[in-house]
Amino acid sequence: METNQLLSRNLKKLREKFTYTQAFVADYLGITAPAVNQYENDARSIPENVIEKLALLYNVEEFDLYEDDPEKQNLLTSFAFRADEIIAEDMVTISRFKKIITNYINMSSALING
């Protein structure tokens, strides 16, 4: 399977696993629902900044979005953050916070191991 097809497939599976609609993801990304549909069906190339935002939304590393092993993909999202009645604006704030924490952990690890 091609890299773009794999990415598209995984994004769709993650969205469905989180029970997000394409409209919700589109609102979070600041794009249209048809654009999300095109990303999920490999009909449109996904920009790097969108991939980064989607990784934050689904609480995975960007490279995990390219995972080919379904068991690993399931494991990655087993303990992912979920909440009822959350709006896209909330997810933007949560994603920004996740990015700060991820950067902090990476920097701390680099300082300890460096």
* Residue 83, pLDDT score: 57
Kindly list the domain boundaries of the chain, sorted by start residue.
Answer: 3-113
* Residue 6, pLDDT score: 92
pTM surpassing 0.75? no
Q: What CATH code would you report for 3-113?
A: 1.10.260.40
C-alpha span between 32 and 114 (Å, rounded): 43
Local confidence band at 108 (pLDDT 50, 70, 90 cut-offs)? confident
Helix axes 33-40 and 22-29, enclosed angle (nearest 10): 110
C-alpha span between 73 and 50 (Å, rounded): 19
Convert 85-112 to b/e letters by CB count within 10 Å (16 or more is b): eeebeebbebbeebeeeeeeeeeeeeee
Q: What is the pLDDT of residues 33-86, one digit of tens each?
A: 999 999 999 999 999 999 999 998 888 889 889 988 776 766 666 655 555 567
